[in-house]
């Protein structure tokens, strides 16, 4: 074991939900804040961080488009996934009463997700750059009539009171993160365990190429859980695909499905195989 500190990079201010995910998934590692997703990913490629915690999609806001364009430009591997339920907290300076509040600041998405509660309190929403950044600005403002919407970790880091937890209007808002590493870490196949394999590819310029490329997963009983398309070039002539399937490369069905995909696809890259996060099966809806 190296004496060097174990570092996990993330994008955002300290106290952001990405930071919170780092502390929950890897409490033994030192989180490192980066201004951009590219900076966080480059830290890992350059060997200055062991892992990166990168959001891929949110159940409310949808996919993080930038990540699909960044991933093919790196040599990083996906070694895990993490699902983080978003619990927005209404934060204020210590000693502030909720009836004293006049304005509340946060990222526009967070404000939208808490719109009914904000309206119910009769306070004015003010858009900020991000949730944790709004909490930091609040902590430095000295103004008790101001509030922020951010994580419980942001409250702890910036010395703020939590006036209300679960401030979002609807429960279930969840972000899925990818855990990236320079090392390819395929877990040993264990019968009964669930695995996700992530693949990026483009298809050959022939009729029904995508249908044929994916047909092997259907005929071999391999469940596809995610398929995203995006333009892979500035010319808008090549479409690339991000595919998540339930399966491990050591399974016979996966081997046969991958053979068909490899025949009809090009620029195929297996981004990683990793154990499925328990969040996927919290309702015990399991497809065999």
Whole-model pTM?
Answer: 0.89
pLDDT given at position 236: 56
pLDDT given at position 288: 41
Where does the chain have alpha helices with state H? 17-25, 37-45, 65-70, 108-113, 115-121, 131-141, 152-158, 209-219, 252-264
Task: For helices 252-264 and 209-219, give the axis angle rounded to 10 degrees.
Answer: 170
pLDDT given at position 3: 54
Which one-letter DSSP state was computed for residue 210?
H
Whole-angstrom distance, CA of residue 226 vs CA of residue 221: 15
3 state DSSP class of 46 = coil
Same topology between domain 89-164 and domain 195-281: no
State both tokens at 133.
């950044």
- % pLDDT > 70, the chain: 94
Whole-angstrom distance, CA of residue 33 vs CA of residue 17: 12
pLDDT band at 62 (very low <50, low <70, confident <90, very high): confident
Q: Which residues are catalytic?
A: 175, 177
3 state DSSP class of 236 = coil
The mean pLDDT value of the chain amounts to 92
Contact 36, 9 (CB under 8 A): no
Dihedral sign computed on CA atoms, order 110, 114, 118, 121: negative
pLDDT given at position 59: 87
DSSP assignments along 146-203, one per residue: EEEEE-HHHHHHHT-EEEESS-SSSS--EEEEEEEESS--PPPP-TT--EEEEEEEEE
Whole-angstrom distance, CA of residue 188 vs CA of residue 237: 39
Contact 203, 213 (CB under 8 A): yes
pLDDT given at position 205: 73
In this prediction, residues 127-155 reach a mean pLDDT of: 95
Which comes out higher in pLDDT, residue 60 or 92?
92
Lowest average pLDDT, out of 115-129, 196-210, 245-259, goes to 196-210
pLDDT given at position 174: 93
For domain 89-164, the CATH class is: alpha beta
CATH of region 7-85+173-181: 3.40.190.10
- % pLDDT > 90, the chain: 80
pLDDT tens-digit readout, 199-224: 999 987 778 889 999 999 999 999 99
10 Å CB burial of residue 121 (0-12, 13-18, 19+) is middle
In this prediction, residues 39-63 reach a mean pLDDT of: 94
CATH 3.40.50.300 fits 195-281, yes or no: no
pLDDT given at position 80: 98
pLDDT given at position 233: 59
Which comes out higher in pLDDT, residue 215 or 287?
215
Q: Which residues pair with 220 in a beta bridge?
A: none
Which comes out higher in pLDDT, residue 236 or 60?
60
Strands 7-11 and 51-58, how do they pair? parallel
Domain ranges within the chain, ordered by starting residue: 7-85+173-181, 89-164, 195-281
pLDDT band at 150 (very low <50, low <70, confident <90, very high): very high
Is the pLDDT confidence value at 282 over 90?
no
Strands 161-164 and 103-106, how do they pair? unpaired
pLDDT given at position 239: 80
In this prediction, residues 70-85 reach a mean pLDDT of: 95
10 Å CB burial of residue 186 (0-12, 13-18, 19+) is middle
Whole-angstrom distance, CA of residue 103 vs CA of residue 143: 10
Lowest average pLDDT, out of 37-51, 226-240, 262-276, goes to 226-240
Whole-Å CA distances, 226 to 162, 177, 223, 244, 245: 36, 14, 9, 5, 7
């Amino acid at each position: 074991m190296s004496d060097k500190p174990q570092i996990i990079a993330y994008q955002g201010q300290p106290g952001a939900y990405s930071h919170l995910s780092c502390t929950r998934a890897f409490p033994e590692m030192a989180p490192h804040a980066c201004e951009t997703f590219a900076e966080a990913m480059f830290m890992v490629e350059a060997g200055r961080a062991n892992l990166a915690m990168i959001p891929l999609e949110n159940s409310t806001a949808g996919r993080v488009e930038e990540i699909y364009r960044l991933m093919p430009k790196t040599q990083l591997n996906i070694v895990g996934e993490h699902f983080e339920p978003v619990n927005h907290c209404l934060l204020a300076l210590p000693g502030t009463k909720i009836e004293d509040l006049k304005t509340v600041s946060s990222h526009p998405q967070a404000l939208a997700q808490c719109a009914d509660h904000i309206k119910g309190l009769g306070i004015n929403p003010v858009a900020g750059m991000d949730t944790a950044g709004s909490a930091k600005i609040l902590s430095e403002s000295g103004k008790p009539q101001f509030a922020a919407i951010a994580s419980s970790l942001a409250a702890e880091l910036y010395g703020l009171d939590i006036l209300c937890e679960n401030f979002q209007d609807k429960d279930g808002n969840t972000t899925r993160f990818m855990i990236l590493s320079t090392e390819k870490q395929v877990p040993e196949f264990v019968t009964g365990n669930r695995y996700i394999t992530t693949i990026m590819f483009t298809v050959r310029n022939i009729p029904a190429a995508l249908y044929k490329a994916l047909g092997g997963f259907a005929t071999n009983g391999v469940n596809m859980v995610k398929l995203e398309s995006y333009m892979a070039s500035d010319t808008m002539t090549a479409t690339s695909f991000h595919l998540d399937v339930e399966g491990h490369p050591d399974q016979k069905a996966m081997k046969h499905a991958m053979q068909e995909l490899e025949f009809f696809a090009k620029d195929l890259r297996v981004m990683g195989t990793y154990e499925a996060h328990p969040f996927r099966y919290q309702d015990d809806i399991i497809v065999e």
